[in-house]
Structure 1
Amino acid sequence: MFVLVNLKAYPCDPVEVAEAARDVADASGVRIAVAPQAAHLDRVAATGVETWAQHVAPVAHGSHTGHTLAEAVADAGAEGTLLNHSEHRLKLADIDGALDAADRAGLETVVCANNPDQVGAAAALGPDAVAVEPPELIGGDVSVSTADPGIVEGAVAAASAVDPDVDVYCGAGVSTGEDLAAAADLGAEGVLLASGVAKADDPRAALEDLVSGV
């Protein structure tokens, strides 16, 4: 299982979370990555944890003030990037362009989607993975794998029908080892989470509990 911790713009210490994720990954053998704000990418990458960007723009080098350049996040130490998170939606053409930018920079990609239909459309664009995250469950206390397991199963089926090589992750409300185990049972190969770690009083303990489900 792959665990991707999105720090969003929460007021947490990104280095503290990164060090905890690195240590828990080393101790458990579970692949754990951290996606901080772009300004913190180099600090997080310096801890040795697998580091991801929260977004890259569908642009190349040039006159693109305010955009997040894929090559820049790669230079800062990012190994992958989220795309089309429900809090940063993209048009289909822009998802396609951002995937091209990520590929150009050698970044692994996860495209987020709201439901199985969107998962199928995203999988057709050829990302490394898609993640199903119902927006109404994001940031809540109930995981998608518990609240609506059919969405996860449907996402797995939708991606497989389009491209069996595209992995499927799930997110929204994931925070415990039980959530992770439930996601795996439904066919997901990874999870996305944010507040369960970024807003935890003890991020290390939260991560240790999470991987206990593997």
Structure 2
Amino acid sequence: MFVLVNLKTYPCDPLEIATAVRDVDETTDARLAVAPQAIHIERVAETGVETWAQHVDPIEHGSNTGHTLAESVADAGAVGTLVNHSERRLKLADIDGAVRAAERADLETVVCANNPEQIGAGAALGPDAVAVEPPELIGTGTPVSQADPGVVENAVVAAENVDDDVSVLCGAGISTGEDVTAADDLGTEGVLLASGVAKADNPRAALDDLVEPL
């Protein structure tokens, strides 16, 4: 089970959470990683935790002021990137371009989508994984696996119908070990979460709870 903790732009200590993710990763068979803000990638990666970018742009080296270059986040220590998170939406052509840019930089990719139909479209672009995240549930503490498990099951089917080599993750509202188990039972291979760890009073305890059932 893959557990990717997205720190977004929450006012948290990225090194404290990175260290907690790294330490908990050593206690479980699950795979844990963290996605800090771009400016923090290098320092987070230096802790030894698996580090992801929150976004890369569909660009190459050149005149691209203000954009995020895949090679730059890879050089900083990232091994993967989210693409098309609901808080950083892209057009389909740009999603494709970002996936190609990530491939060029040897970054793994998770393409986020709102529903099973979009999951199918995302899987057709050939990322390593897709993640279903209904935006209305993000940050609510109500996981999609409880609010609408059919969305997750249909997302798994949609991806399999396009390319069964593309893994399916589940996001939005994930915060407990029960949520992770439910996502596993619905056929996904991992979860995305953010506030459940990034805003926790004790990130290490929150992470321990997430992986305890696995």
Paired position in structure 1 for 2:68 = 68
Please give the root-mean-square deviation of Cα atoms over the aligned residues, in Å. 0.4
Paired position in structure 2 for 1:25 = 25
Paired position in structure 2 for 1:109 = 109
| SS of residue paired to 1:68 | coil
Query: C-alpha displacement at 1:213, in angstroms?
Result: 2.4
Residues 118-154 of structure 1, C-alpha deviation per residue, up to 9 Å, x if partnerless? 0000000000000000000000121011111000000
- Cα distance in 2 for residues equivalent to 1:132 and 1:113: 5
| SS of residue paired to 2:160 | helix
- Cα distance in 2 for residues equivalent to 1:63 and 1:204: 41
- Cα distance in 1 for residues equivalent to 2:45 and 2:124: 31
Gaps of 5+ in 1: none
Q: TM-score, normalised by structure 1?
A: 0.99
Runs of 4+ residues deviating >2 angstroms: none
Structure-to-structure mapping, 1:186-197, within 5 angstroms: 186-197=186-197
- Cα distance in 2 for residues equivalent to 1:192 and 1:141: 13
Paired position in structure 2 for 1:156 = 156
Letter in 2 for 1:208: D
Q: TM-score, normalised by structure 2?
A: 0.99
- Cα distance in 1 for residues equivalent to 2:197 and 2:168: 21
- Cα distance in 2 for residues equivalent to 1:53 and 1:174: 20
- Cα distance in 1 for residues equivalent to 2:209 and 2:147: 20
Letter in 1 for 2:115: N
1:128 aligns with 2:115: no
Residues 182-214 of structure 1, C-alpha deviation per residue, up to 9 Å, x if partnerless? 000000000000000000000000000000121
Structure-to-structure mapping, 1:1-214, within 5 angstroms: 1-214=1-214
- Cα distance in 1 for residues equivalent to 2:183 and 2:141: 15
| SS of residue paired to 1:88 | coil
Query: C-alpha displacement at 1:9, in angstroms?
Result: 0.1
- Cα distance in 1 for residues equivalent to 2:96 and 2:128: 13
Query: C-alpha displacement at 1:28, in angstroms?
Result: 1.4
Query: C-alpha displacement at 1:7, in angstroms?
Result: 0.1
Letter in 2 for 1:151: V
- Cα distance in 1 for residues equivalent to 2:153 and 2:146: 12
- Cα distance in 2 for residues equivalent to 1:44 and 1:89: 25
Residues 146-172 of structure 1, C-alpha deviation per residue, up to 9 Å, x if partnerless? 111000000000000000000000000
Residues 102-131 of structure 1, C-alpha deviation per residue, up to 9 Å, x if partnerless? 000000000000000000000000000000
Gaps of 5+ in 2: none
| SS of residue paired to 1:50 | coil
Query: C-alpha displacement at 1:78, in angstroms?
Result: 0.1
